[in-house]
Amino acid sequence: MNKKMLISLSLLFLSFTLSAETITSEKHNFTIETVVDGLEHPWAVDFLPDGRILVTEKPGRLRIVNNGKLSKPVTGLPKIKEKGQGGLLDIALDPDYKNNQIIYLSYSAKGKGGVGTEVVKGKLIGNELKDTKVIFKLSPKSNTGHHFGSRLLFAKDGSLFITLGDRGDKDRAQDLNDHAGSLIHINKDGSVPEDNPFVKNPNAKPEIYTYGNRNMQGIAMHPETGDVWTIEHGPQGGDELNLMKPGVNYGWPVITYGVNYVIGTKIGEGTEKEGMAQPVHHWIPSIATSSLMFYTGDKFPAWKGDAFVSSLVFGQLARLEMKKNSVIKEERLLDGDFGRIREIQQGLDGFLYFINDDTRGKLYRIKPEK
């Protein structure tokens, strides 16, 4: 056996050893395996009923993972403008996907005034998106490259929530006649629900459900209560976990637990103000929250009902034990070993899946220790 072959075998053994290494946590020990690699800045994942996995890549590609293999980019997507933090962002399956094959994508697109978040729906037929229709456009658009949001969540009644950022212009979050810095609530066809909190306010965008939000990059529904929760990517300090209620002002930028980047100076008026909601939980220093989910599977029974929050800056997963809308304990899992974690989701098989934000990004699976 020559020297090159010995080196190759040694690297293969090392790779296998690392992938099979047991990671210890308080309630479950687990291993992590690579499902697929070769993804360029993956942003979101979702799971098709037949076991295939959809992955968005920020530069503007939608890929399908099937048995560990990556498809060619899905065709038929709308024109996407990658700008700063914008690009192809979240993905969600229609609640009736098994019958209608409709998926929803959020992304940044050019328009009057610059670039802004939009949402499109279309039928996924083979490797093509057909019959597309744009059902939401942020207004007004702007030329910044920051804080697009944007996660998607279907409510139990089939309506759709869309998280939006303030587009890097913080005062927009307090303007009800501006979509930026708000949680949007629309029907699947883009129409406005009659019970939205500001539908009768002539000085407000009727799609707005909450406002005073900086940059929500995670949203999830509690499996028992049906409540909608979000995580908010704060400035330097001040990442938040919020329970979302219609018509509520969450305070940004008037109140925050964060400070200005680098210089550390105060933002707004402090941390509390009458008429503005407090976060249920916040992080100082920021962990750069990027997604949120509640675990409901049976593969990790001691984690059932816990919330998981992914972190960009530390490359961690924060596991939150919840009780009566309060966080009673937080455990940090991983520690930068897999880079910036963009999203964590529960698969249909009950395992946990996450993607890392990298030019050679990967989709990973978390499995309990054998």
Q: Which active-site residues does the annotation give?
A: 147
Instruction: List the alpha helices (DSSP H) in the chain.
Output: 3-19, 97-100
User: E strands within 71-163?
Assistant: 88-93, 102-111, 114-125, 128-137, 152-154, 160-163
Distance (Å, whole) CA 179 – CA 40: 29
Residue 341 DSSP class: E
Burial label for 364, CB within 10 Å (0-12, 13-18, 19+), is buried
Output the CA torsion sign for 311, 147, 137, 157: positive
| Token output for 102 | 């409709």
- C-beta contacts of 251-254 below 8 A and 24+ residues apart: 251/212, 251/276, 251/277, 252/166, 252/170, 252/173, 252/174, 252/181, 252/212, 252/213, 252/214, 253/166, 253/170, 253/171, 253/173, 253/174, 253/214, 254/174, 254/212
The distance in angstroms from the start CA to the end CA of the chain is 34
State how far the Cα of 107 lies from the Cα of 109, in Å rounded to an integer: 6
Amino acid at 300: F
Give the H/E segment covering residue 242.
strand 239-243
Query: What is the CB neighbour count within 10 angstroms for residue 74?
Result: 21
